[in-house]
Amino acid sequence: MNKLLLHPAVKPCLFLLCLLPFAGLVYGAFTDGLGANPAEYLIRAGGDWTLRFLCIVLAVTPLRVMFKLSALARLRRMLGLFVYFYVVFHLLSYSGFDMGFDVADIAKDIAKRPFILVGFSAFVLLTPLAATSFNRAIKALGAKRWQRLHKLVYVIAGLGLLHFFWMRAGKHNFNEVFVYAAIIVVLLAWRVWYFLSKKRFRSTPVAGMQLSK
């Protein structure tokens, strides 16, 4: 499986696969296939795909570790950039269709409605992650600083989930919220368990020596 994931065609294929939801939305917009309220459909779809790709990104490390698929790591950066791609699409759809790109009205709406403030905060935090998802940025920051910065993804996941929860609260429709919440909680809980198990393993004496030394 690792050999397959290292094939040169994997990245271009993944890129096209990640673009399929966007292509479907564009096609639907031009063929009147987005229902009675296309603007709302596009705004919601952008948010949904942002959360989905965020879950996919968070799933990369558990899958890599559990199934020993080290080659998955080379795909994580692209998947992370698609999280940003869809959140920008979500923000632009809201700014254009709901607010007519009126910056003053957008600023007032962000300040007035907590769920939009939370969503916008997630976008702001995602921006430096996207901007530093390149080799030059990693070298400039240093590996440790880069890793610390990219741990913001856990905060972003929480903010994205809260944004989605508040948005659905108006219609008392929480089914999808619970699904995303369960996925994110499981993925974050696995990280806590893995960190603690590694720490415990390193501190266990083996043949009179500490593995942590």
Q: Is residue 209 part of a domain?
A: no
Domain count, the chain: 1
What pLDDT score does 203 carry?
60
What pLDDT score does 207 carry?
43
Q: Is residue 131 part of a domain?
A: yes
Q: Is residue 188 part of a domain?
A: yes
Q: Is residue 213 part of a domain?
A: no
What pLDDT score does 173 carry?
83
Q: Is residue 121 part of a domain?
A: yes
Q: Is residue 204 part of a domain?
A: no
Q: Is residue 155 part of a domain?
A: yes
Q: Is residue 208 part of a domain?
A: no
Contacts with 61 (C-beta within 8 Å, 6 or more apart), sequence order:
76, 191
In Å, what is the CA distance from 133 to each residue of 7, 143, 147? 22, 12, 11
Q: Within a 13 Å sphere around the CA of 7, how many CA atoms are in the beta-carbon half?
A: 9
Query: What is the pTM (predicted TM-score) of this model?
Result: 0.91
What pLDDT score does 206 carry?
46
**Domain boundaries, position 7:** 2-197
Mean pLDDT (the chain, rounded): 92
The helix/strand/coil state of 62 is helix
Q: In the chain, which residues have pLDDT < 50?
A: 206-213
Q: Closest Cα to residue 127, out of 155, 88, 164, 154?
A: 88
